[in-house]
Amino acid sequence: MKTSQRRKTALILISMSIPMFIPLLMQMLGYRLVIFNNIGLDENNLAPWYAWITALVVTLLYVLYTFKKIPFVYEMQKEVSLFKLIGLLSVIGGLIEELVFRQWLMDVLDSKGYGIIIQILISGILFALIHIAWVIFSRDKKFLFGAFISTFLLGTLLAIVYLIGNRNVGPCIISHALINIIIEPWLLLAAISKDWKTKRASIAQL
């Protein structure tokens, strides 16, 4: 795999992460944003234990599914590099996405009288749509469709975890973070390089 493909992947990851850092930076500077009012990780406000177990099961299932469908991601798990470190920026994206697509969006829908089925479906669909944006880089319709289905399923499962946890987003945040830590930046690199169909690992370094 060409080094240029890694550089392109790194540039895309950094470009996508910058907007995610803005609300976090604003919060750190003292601007109290609504989405940060309750991130569900306060020891006095943790989700029930069964919500955490469910979140871990969702994490395991999604990671194993990704390994099976995209062997390249599994093959690259042993690499420790600057490129992998850049991939960890996606953890911030996962945090913001859970606060928006689970906590904020589902609570808004609930306040407007929509039932839990509608809340779950809308959360899952919008979550999937925002994620297929980067998959467009692969220009592979099969990959695009697969990415939509897999991220829709993940979004709906995390929405269910959110409800199981009594609308505590903590387990969703940790689940999403663990998934991103494991599969990125390899998933995006697979889409760009089209190596998602193979088990050939890259030896090129960033």
Give residue-wise pLDDT tens across range 177-195.
999 999 999 998 988 887 6
Q: Is position 54 within any domain?
A: yes
Give residue-wise pLDDT tens across range 69-98.
999 999 999 999 999 999 999 999 999 999
The Cα 24–Cα 41 span in angstroms is 16
Q: Is position 204 within any domain?
A: no
Q: Is position 113 within any domain?
A: yes
Enclosing domain of residue 144:
3-193
Tokens of 130: 């925002």
The Cα 186–Cα 96 span in angstroms is 21
pLDDT at 128: 94
Among residues of the chain, what percentage have pLDDT more than 70?
Answer: 88
pLDDT at 165: 94
Which one has a higher pLDDT value, 201 or 64?
64
Q: Is position 46 within any domain?
A: yes
Contacts of 101 (CB under 8 A, 6+ apart): 123, 126, 127, 130, 155, 159
Average the pLDDT over 50-67 and give the result: 97
Average the pLDDT over 5-30 and give the result: 87
Which one has a higher pLDDT value, 121 or 16?
121
Contacts of 189 (CB under 8 A, 6+ apart): 1, 5, 6, 9, 72, 76, 195, 202
Q: Is position 202 within any domain?
A: no
Q: Is position 201 within any domain?
A: no
Q: Is position 141 within any domain?
A: yes
Cα R_g (the chain), whole angstroms: 17
Q: Is position 198 within any domain?
A: no
The total number of structural domains in the chain stands at 1
What's the mean per-residue pLDDT of the chain?
87
pTM of the model as a whole: 0.89
User: What DSSP letter does each residue of 153-167 carry, written as one string?
Assistant: HHHHHHHHHHHHTTS
Alpha helices by DSSP H, the chain: 3-28, 49-69, 71-75, 82-87, 90-97, 105-111, 116-135, 141-164, 170-183, 186-193
pLDDT at 37: 74
